[in-house]
A and B are shown apart, each in its own frame.
Chain A
């Protein structure tokens, strides 16, 4: 015998197992048919297996459980009918699998029974055919469903995993879109701001360059003029002295004019005037130099910079703002080591924070700019005596687009950019502010960038 074909799960995927009448027919299907034949006048009606054993029977069977031997002998010889009974062989897949047996009542002819039995036989065959078809279909259904079921389980497992993933994605999608949009907007504004800063720097550099040449010769001419003037005065004094000796005792004409024109005063004052001009020109020269430095147009990489100098440069750029508000800037620059970083970016931080301080109040504004070294950090603090910042918004100052200014006045990006730049230098910005007491922004820059600055209040 061949061993059964079993799958891993022990399910037998087989189409074609043999069926007996017992498998194909059932009492509820058969009973009404047999009852109808009895009603039609038969004494006994039975459905038997191939050996003649009754499977279902109705009528007066006198305790019999199978066909009489004589009937079976006739059937074996191919005789299916005599005056008292009739046998109808039943086939399944060309194989005889039983009989429909009908016994007439004693003394009566089978004739009038024949129609109803003919019909019953046809119906029985129809029932068998349908039943077989249904069973075959179910058979293959079950076989393939069992198999598909396992595959489905596997697929389902995979699906539920990916479904989870997608659901999570879908749920967070909105939030992610918002995040991305904010990021984009931030990046865009930052670019704008940087462009603005760059053009401010460029403008400053351009103006500085234009002024630099004329102020150069004004300055050197003034120095020459001072020398010439000194020489002239020397000569004039000499003349005056000699003319006084010649005309001793009386005031001559030239002496009168000399006094009248206040030549002595003019001589003293013109030297002072020229000296003042020279001082002024010198100041212009410094500012122009600061302006040029502020732009840092050529610096891309990190270089050693003098923080105090950067602050000077930035203040120069903001000079107009400072003057127009009659603000006072108090510089308390300490002796600090140089700092390695991007000067262009660092001065942008100073610019943004100083500008905020300048915008904090219109009258009697005092801004104190202090630099010092605290352990391994440089601390630059910019303090104003402005209105102060309410504590509930202090946490939001560095958020992009956070502003309390009117629409169109502020972008709200100033501190956000400052924060990013300082973070980029591994530093930190701290705010100390109380309503009515002004605000203090401390920029902490680590000299050794491997360590973050110590956090202290």
Chain B
């Protein structure tokens, strides 16, 4: 986590969308921004992009206060996928509380997915985080395209690892919220162990998830 200030009763969390270049990380965040209620979240901050490619990062912050007065801020980031921005990826990844790995389903992107995942493992280690412990979900995006990896195959590879897998078409808003909800869910469990959010702050998992995913159902095409 970015910060826990006991005196000010403030908890600042960080969730990171990771993945290879152009896999749809920014699109995921844009769809979340569209889909979620304006209450409790800020505008999506898109920092300098060039031809669709993130150079720095995108940021979607959420803010709410528990009944006990604990202020919780959740900052959701995307990293730039381009290989050359590795330093930025490290900086964004540092002190993350959860990671959503957005893979590109296209057959041609298999190597890039693999390379980016390996890069995630390395960078997590670099910033002192344990990939075995950190809340992690994987999304296979662009399911709407032809020539993509079969779902069966994906499951065969990833199910044994116990990591939650989601199929998505971020461009059309499908699978975006599910991925995010699962990530938030896992993050709550992880935090609850350390901060006893439920006991000490009357913050149930449902309330935590709801606060971050108040959906504007009229918009979401599920």
Q: A residues touching B (Cβ–Cβ < 8 Å)? A: 1-2, 5, 12-18, 91-95, 132-133, 136-137, 139-140, 143-145, 147-148
Contacts and interface: CB of A to CB of B under 8 A. Distances in A.
A80 to B, nearest CB: 17
A91 to B, nearest CB: 7
A1 B4 contact: yes
Contact of A15 (B48, B61, B77): B77
A93 B63 contact: yes
Contact of B73 (A15, A93, A136): A93
A12 to B, nearest CB: 8
Contacts of A16: 2, 12, 14, 75, 77, 92, 95
B92 A147 contact: no
A347 to B, nearest CB: 72
Nearest to A146: B87
B94 interface: yes
Interface stretch (B38-46, B101-109, B152-160, B171-179): B38-46
Contacts of A139: 91
A189 to B, nearest CB: 57
Interface in B41-86: 41-42, 45, 47-48, 56-57, 59, 61-63, 71, 73, 75, 77, 85
Contact of B87 (A5, A18, A91, A143): A143
Nearest to B12: A18
A15 B12 CA distance: 12
A310 B71 CA distance: 110
A143 B63 contact: no
Contact of B47 (A13, A91, A92, A136): A136
A15 B1 contact: no
**Size category, B interface:** 20 to 34
Interface string B124-164: 00011000000000000000000000000000000000000
A20 to B, nearest CB: 11
B4 A144 contact: no
Contacts, number: 88
Contacts of A137: 47-48, 56
B2 A14 contact: yes
A147 B94 contact: no
Contacts of B48: 137
B94 to A, nearest CB: 5
Contacts of B73: 18, 93-95
Interface string B90-119: 111011000000000000000000000000
Contact of A140 (B62, B91, B95): B91
9 contacts: A2-B1, A5-B127, A15-B91, A18-B2, A93-B61, A93-B75, A136-B47, A136-B56, A147-B87
Max chain B C-beta neighbours (<10 A), residue from A12, A92, A94? A94
Contacts of B62: 94
B95 A5 contact: yes
B189 interface: no
A136 B127 CA distance: 19
Contacts of A92: 42
A9 to B, nearest CB: 13
Nearest to B126: A7
B148 to A, nearest CB: 32
A18 B57 CA distance: 16
A143 B42 CA distance: 24
A140 B56 contact: yes
A14 B95 contact: yes
Given A5-B94, A93-B63, A140 B3 contact: no
A27 to B, nearest CB: 25
Pairs A-B, 3 closest by C-beta atoms: A144-B87, A93-B61, A94-B63
Contacts of A95: 61, 63, 71, 73
Contacts of A14: 2, 91, 94-95
A15 to B, nearest CB: 5
Given A1-B4, A18-B3, A133 B91 contact: no
Contacts of A91: 42
B31 interface: no
Contacts of A17: 2-3
Contacts of B47: 133, 136-137, 140
Nearest to B3: A18
A16 B92 CA distance: 8
Given A5-B95, A140-B92, A15 B87 contact: no
B11 to A, nearest CB: 11
A132 B56 CA distance: 14
Given A5-B128, A95-B73, A137-B47, A147 B90 contact: yes
Given A17-B3, A144-B90, 7 more contacts: A18-B12, A93-B63, A94-B63, A137-B48, A140-B91, A144-B87, A145-B87
Contact of A13 (B2, B4, B94): B94
A144 B42 contact: no
B215 interface: no
A92 to B, nearest CB: 8
